[in-house]
Amino acid sequence: MHTTADEPTTTPNVGLFVTCLVDLFRPQIGFAAVRLIEDAGCTVDVPMAQTCCGQPAYNSGDRKDARAIAENTIRAFEGFDYVVAPSGSCAGMLKKHYPRLFADDPAWKERAEAFASRVHELVSFLADVMGVEKVSASHATTATYHDSCSGLRELGIAAQPRALLGSVEGLTLNEMPDSDVCCGFGGTFCVKYSDISNAIVEKKTAAIEESGADMLLAGDLGCLMNMAGKLKRQGSRVEARHVAEVLAGMTDGAPIGGRG
Amino acid sequence: MQITSPNFKQNAVQALQDAQLQKAMGNVRAGFIDKRRKAADALPEFEALRDAARDIKDHTLAHLDLYLEAYEKKVTEAGGHVHWAETAEDARRIILDICRMQNAKTVTKGKSMITEEIALNDFLALAGIEAVETDLGEYIIQLRGEHPSHIIAPAVHVNKDQVEADFRRVHDYLAPNRDLSEPESLLDEARRVLRAKYFEADVGITGANFLVAETGSSVIVTNEGNGDLTQMLPRVHVVVASIEKIVPTLNDVGQILRVLARSATGQDMSVYTTFSTGPRRRGDPDGPEQYHVILLDNGRSSMLGTEFQDMLRCIRCGACMNHCPVYHAVGGHAYGWVYPGPMGAVLTPSLVGVDKSGHLPNASTFCGRCESVCPMRIPLPKMMRSWREREFERGLNPATQRYGLKLWAAFAKRPRLYKFATSLAIPALSLFGGRKKRFSALPFAGGWTRFRDLPAPERRTFMQQWRQGAAVSRRGPT
């Protein structure tokens, strides 16, 4: 991996926020993130006291539990130079919504804001903070990239993953129509309003197929599980992977949702 | 209008099964999204204008009482009358009184969501007064006995063949063999029929896109000119507008107009933008003899000073619904009241109560596209979340959801317990997932597996692997 940033005088110490879905469903994304962050010149540690970012509670209106979870997370990550998550949605929660959770508690608000200022989504951390322009991975395939909503609209992630994917040897990016339109996952939305969610993801899988790509990439495991689950149900041959797996060259194992 | 928002889920399922509706909703993208993008891209100062528009409204809302009083004074000076209506009932009563004074039989209407909100047409019909909608889309759905499904494209859910059938059914006095195969011929027929109504009408009722405090003017924006004929031809012009439509000056209107049509239809400006100030003056060649303004509150003043005040910046352009994946999937009627889509998801609970519309702020994926296109920069997802918090505090969500969430939170708050539980559950689930590494049915995940396979987890969680140093290096299996 090559970086353009000036060599830091000390090695940045990164705390990896694994995200609950990555922890439970696809640890490989976490290991890919560790590899990418280390290759960018940082040390990585994973605080054991983390669980989930608290979005299910926060977005369901349960502010009290969301705050309790946020306090845990903030405590667990104090002392790191950066907090990095392989998810735009979770990073958006930590960065944009934690400070709002403590709007009426000045002491915690300050702590949450200090924490938020150190939080980054993985690909944006590599490109925007560490100045990574190229990765050494290679993977011969045609891929299409879905812009997950929180990463795109809360954190401005669109160009960075495309630029880094462009440096993967052998990989061709075929854009799908409406790549910036929601896949219908939406956390608990996909279960509470499963009929509507299904209608939305059907449009998304049609767009994915229209791109002609063999591989679907995105930066959020929630969206990927939704889209991969629908692709598999429809008997599609398109394989789904987290963008970090490809950038880290960790594409030997089965794709999300398995093969065939 | 009867509220069916509590049935949102059933409404949505019905809408998803309506093949005709699904086809019609496909037009929203071509009709609105691409055009908005082009219009915004073509105007370098578009983003700055959005900021200016937001600031104008914020300033106005902070001094709403002063601007409303100034406006009333100017209207009165121009020879018009201002009527204050606290509730929908008050507004209907005032309008009926005005109509009765004129002994009105026929009333023409320029499209106005506010008269939908106060269910004016049915009320006037009960009093023996025929209200005729003159916007083509409104006219079509009036013939069909429906309500608008979009705030600027009320009949976006109806296709051409349906309109032809409706015209043949209602206009049964016209030649049965006439050609109605083209949109133009449908438009011609509507124009002919409506033209007679304009001259017949005793009272013309319009909404207002803006009220100008500086001049006492009401402003309407249309593409068909129907609003102009509605307010110019009858003896009496009644403007029905909610209190937040006020802006301080003509210059402010000019600025907000620049983002309105671009956000709505992708036009630089609507075809007609008409300012009305008072009744016909001596020497005027035309115009109404009387000019009345009904200023409706209907719950809006209770939003002032709350986390929902920003919603009062809304200029009803419809951009949020045009860009909402949920609106695209189910159309506007599923939302069950006057205001659909993301703006409705915030406004409806504000106006009719969250107990009657609790689904609406929940039926969002929080994708944020609505906020990203809102010309007034209204933080719609944030306000939907505020509604969800109020619902949660009041215990309005279904018990199963609450308990499920509480159970999950009990683990998420306790990292050790969480790790212990997941380190047992995940290997079991993984084993269960079989060789295909996915589930096509799971007893506790029916909401998911009805429509999608669920990717199965790997055998051990990340945390287990990391802690146990399973990999040779900490960089995982290579």
**Structure confidence by residue, pLDDT tens digits, A130-148:** 999 999 999 999 999 999 9
Tell me, yes or no, whether A172 and A71 share the same domain. Answer: no
Listed in sequence order, the DSSP H helices in A3-62 are 20-25, 27-39, 55-59
pTM > 0.90: yes or no: yes
- Tell me if A229 and B438 make a contact (CB, 8 A cut-off): yes
Q: Give burial (CB, 10 Å; 0-12/13-18/19+) of B321.
A: buried
Q: Specify the pLDDT at position A8.
A: 53
Mean of the pLDDT values across residues B372-382?
Answer: 98
**Among 3.30.470.10, 3.40.50.300, 3.40.50.10420, 3.40.50.920, what is the CATH number of B65-298?**
3.40.50.10420
Could you read off the pLDDT of B9-38 as tens digits, one per residue?
999 999 999 999 999 998 887 789 999 999
Which residues from chain B sit within 8 angstroms of residue A199, using beta carbons? 16, 329-330
Strands (E), chain A: 2-3, 13-16, 43-45, 82-85, 119-121, 132-134, 138-145, 169-173, 215-218, 239-242
Interface contact flag, B412 A51, Cβ < 8 Å:
yes
Q: Are residues A95 and A51 in the same domain?
A: yes
φ/ψ of A153, rounded to 5, equals: -90, -30
Chain A residues with CB under 8 Å of B476 CB are: 27-28, 30-32, 34-35, 250
User: Which candidate, A229, A69, A96, places its Cα nearest to that of A150?
Assistant: A96
Does A92 reside within a domain? yes
Outline which parts of chain B fall under CATH 3.40.50.10420.
65-298
Q: What pLDDT, on the 0 to 100 scale, is given for residue B110?
A: 93
Using alpha carbons only, what angle is made at residue A29 by residues A57 and A86, rounded to the nearest 5 degrees? 50
Last residue within a domain, chosen from A127, A156, A180:
A127
Q: Do B455 and A258 touch (CB under 8 A)?
A: yes
Please judge whether A31 and B477 are an interchain contact, meaning their C-beta atoms are less than 8 angstroms apart: yes
Shortest CA distance from A259: residue in chain B = B436
Residues A152 and A82 in one domain: no
Number of inter-chain CB pairs under 8 A, A vs B: 228
- Mark whether A76 and A95 lie in a shared domain: yes
Q: How confident is the model at residue A6 (pLDDT cuts 50, 70, 90)?
A: low
Cβ burial of B136 (10 Å; 0-12, 13-18, 19+) is: buried
Q: Are residues A171 and A74 in the same domain?
A: no
Q: Is residue A258 part of a domain?
A: no
Q: Is there a contact between A149 and B389 if contact means CB atoms under 8 Å apart? A: no
Rounded to an integer, what distance in angstroms lies between the CA atom of residue B466 and that of residue B478? 14
> A45, A60, A73, A101: best mutation site toward chain B, by most B Cβ within 10 Å?
A60
Write the pLDDT tens digit of every residue in A228-256. 999 999 999 999 999 999 999 999 999 99
Q: What is the pLDDT of residues A8-35, one digit of tens each?
A: 568 999 999 999 999 999 999 999 999 9
Interface test with A, best of B366, B417, B444 (most A CBs within 10 A): B366
From chain B, the residues in CB contact with A52 under 8 A are 412
Record: contact B436-A154, CB cut-off 8 A = no
Nearest CB partner across the interface for A149, out of B368, B426, B447: B368
Written as six digits, the tokens of B315 are: 């200029």
Rounded mean pLDDT of chain B?
Answer: 95
Q: What is the pLDDT of residue B276?
A: 96
Q: Are residues A140 and A230 in the same domain?
A: yes
Judged by CB atoms closer than 8 Å, whether chains meet at B330 and A229 is answered as: no
Q: Is the pLDDT of residue B82 over 90?
A: yes
A65–B406 CB contact, under 8 Å: yes
| Assigned domain for A1 exists | no
Name the least confident of B218-227, B368-377, B435-444. Answer: B435-444
Q: Print the domain residue range for A231.
A: 133-247
Structure tokens that stand for B466 in this block: 């990391």
Q: Is residue A206 part of a domain?
A: yes
- Residue A256, in any domain of the structure: no
Q: Does the residue A260 lie in any domain?
A: no
Q: A186 and B366: CB-CB below 8 Å?
A: yes
Q: State the DSSP code for A7.
A: P
Residues A188 and A95 in one domain: no
Question: CB neighbours (10 Å) of residue B175?
Answer: 7
Contact A28 B422 (CB under 8 A): no
Residues A99 and A31 in one domain: yes
Q: How many domains is chain A built from?
A: 2
Residue B1's pLDDT band (cuts 50, 70, 90): confident
Q: What is the pLDDT confidence band of residue B472, given thresholds at 50, 70 and 90? A: very low
Closest in A52, A229, A258 to B436, CB measured: A258
- Tell whether A161 is covered by a domain: yes
Residues A241 and A143 in one domain: yes
Residue of B nearest to A38 (CA): B475
The CATH number for A98's domain is 3.40.50
Q: Quote the minimal CA–CA distance from B50 to chain A in Å.
A: 17
B415, A49: Cβ pair inside 8 Å? Answer: yes
Contacts of B475 in chain A (CB under 8 A): 31, 34-35, 38
Asked whether residue A148 falls in the same domain as residue A44, the answer is no
Cβ–Cβ gap A23/B422 under 8 Å: yes
Considering only CA atoms, give the Rg of chain A. 18
Contact list, B5 vs chain A (CB under 8 Å): none
Average pLDDT over residues B153-182: 95
Query: Could you give the CA distance from residue B225 to residue B462 in angstroms, rounded to a whole number?
Result: 64
Q: Express each pLDDT in B225-276 by its tens digit.
A: 999 999 999 999 999 999 999 999 999 999 999 999 999 999 999 999 999 9
Q: Are residue A143 and residue A121 in the same domain, yes or no?
A: no
Closest CA to B108 of B239, B216, B201: B201
The predicted model gives B394-416 an average pLDDT of 92
What separation in angstroms does the CA of B329 have from each of A176, A200, B7?
A: 19, 7, 16
Same domain, A221 and A137: yes
Residue A8 within a domain: no
With contacts defined as CB-CB under 8 Å, which chain B residues touch A180? 369
